Amino acid sequence: MAPSQILLTILALPLLLFLPGFLLAVAFLRPSTRAEKIALAPALSLASSALVLLVIEKTAEKFTAENVTIAVLILNSACAFFAWIRRHE
């Protein structure tokens, strides 16, 4: 793997495997401590990423860099939106 690809992978992994779950936990796991949200983040991220990618599998002709990137960004944005709403309730 080229160094740029390694860097891109290191940047992409948290968007896939940590951030969505953590934001979902912030939004919907109440009451909870920060450590509990962090502990739940990997499992929730795995499930939510897999689900969003399943939508591509079922609707698009094939997986491409474009549709996967858009799906991951939409997932993270939606989770951030939920977290923001719940924090300002």
Partner 1 sequence: MPIFTADLSSHLLGRRTLQTLLFFGLYMGVIWFTLPPSVEAGNRLIYLLYAAFLFLILWPKVTNQSEQENPAELSKPQQGFFLGLAVFSLLFLLATRLTPYLRYGSAPLGYDTGFYIQYFLLVTGAGHIGTALGSHIAYTPWFPLALLHVPPLLSLNIYHLFHQLALVGALYLLARSLPVRPKHLPVVTALLFLFASSITQFMAFWWMFYKQTMALPLLVAATALYLRKSWLAIPLAGVATSVHLQSAIPFAGAFFLSLVARALWCWHRQKPLDRELAITASSGLLVGVLLLLFKGTQEFAAYFDYFKNLRGFASNAQSWEVANAKGLFISFSTFRLNLLFSLPFGVIGAMSFPHWLMRERPTRIALLPSLLLIAIILGSFQFIYQNRSLIILDVIFLVFACYPLAIFLTHFTRDRVGAAAVGVLLTAAIVSTGLLVHNNPPQLFPNERAELEAVAARIGPNDYAMAPTSIYTPWVFAFTNFRNTIAPGWLFWDKWSLPMWEEFWIGKSDERRHELLSLYSPADIYMFFGSRQINHPALQKFIEEDPRMTRISPHIWKYSTTAVPAKQVP
Task: Find the binder of partner 1 among 20, 23, 49, 75 (CB under 8 A).
Answer: 49
**Could you tell me the two tokens for 65?**
């860099």
Binding-residue pattern over the window 50 to 69 for partner 1, x denoting contact by CB under 8 A: xx-xx-xx---xxxxx--x-
Q: What is the 3-state secondary structure (H, E, C) of 30-87?
A: CCCCHHHHHHHHHHHHHHHHHHHHHHHHHHCCCCCHHHHHHHHHHHHHHHHHHHHHHH
Residues that bind partner 1 (CB under 8 A): 1-2, 5, 8-9, 12-13, 16-17, 24, 28-29, 33, 35-36, 38-44, 46-47, 49-51, 53-54, 56-57, 61-65, 68, 72
